[in-house]
Amino acid sequence: QVQLVESGGGLVQAGGSLRLSCAASGRTFSSFVMVWFRQAPGKEREFVAGISWTGGRTYYADSVKGRFTISRDSAKNTVYLQMNSLKPEDTAVYYCAAKFGIMSYASDAMDYWGKGTLVTVSS
C-alpha cells in the first residue's frame, strides 16, 4: 500500500522558514516524479514544486522560485520542501503527490497523494 506522509507544517512569521518532509513508502519510486501542491482557503489546488526521483531535475512555480527548494533523499525515500522568505500568501495546506513517468503540473495527473500539512504564515 502506497503511503505519502507529510510533516513539518506549522505557524511561522512572515520572512521565516519551514521545511516540509514527505515520507514515501509502499513501492519503488524510481520511475516517479514527486510533486508538492498547495491549496489555500477558497482557492484551487496549485502546483508548487516537483522533482524527478532519479535525475534530480527540479521544477518550480513562478510564485516560489528563488524562495523554495525541493530535494529528495533516495536512501530515506523522502522528499523535502525548504521554504524560505515565507509570505502570508504562502498560507495553505501543502500536499505531497507522486506521478509515474514524466513531470506534470496538473493535480489530476497525480497517482498518489498525501493527506497534507498546514502552513500558516502570519504577517
pLDDT by residue (tens digit) across 26-58? 988 888 999 999 999 999 999 999 999 886 799
More confident residue, 17 or 1: 17
Average pLDDT of the chain is: 95
Per-residue pLDDT, 94:
98
* Type of residue numbered 19: R
pLDDT band for position 99 (50/70/90)?
very high
Per-residue pLDDT, 102:
93
Mean pLDDT, range 85-94, rounded to an integer = 98
pLDDT band for position 107 (50/70/90)?
very high
Mean pLDDT, range 54-70, rounded to an integer = 93
pLDDT band for position 14 (50/70/90)?
very high
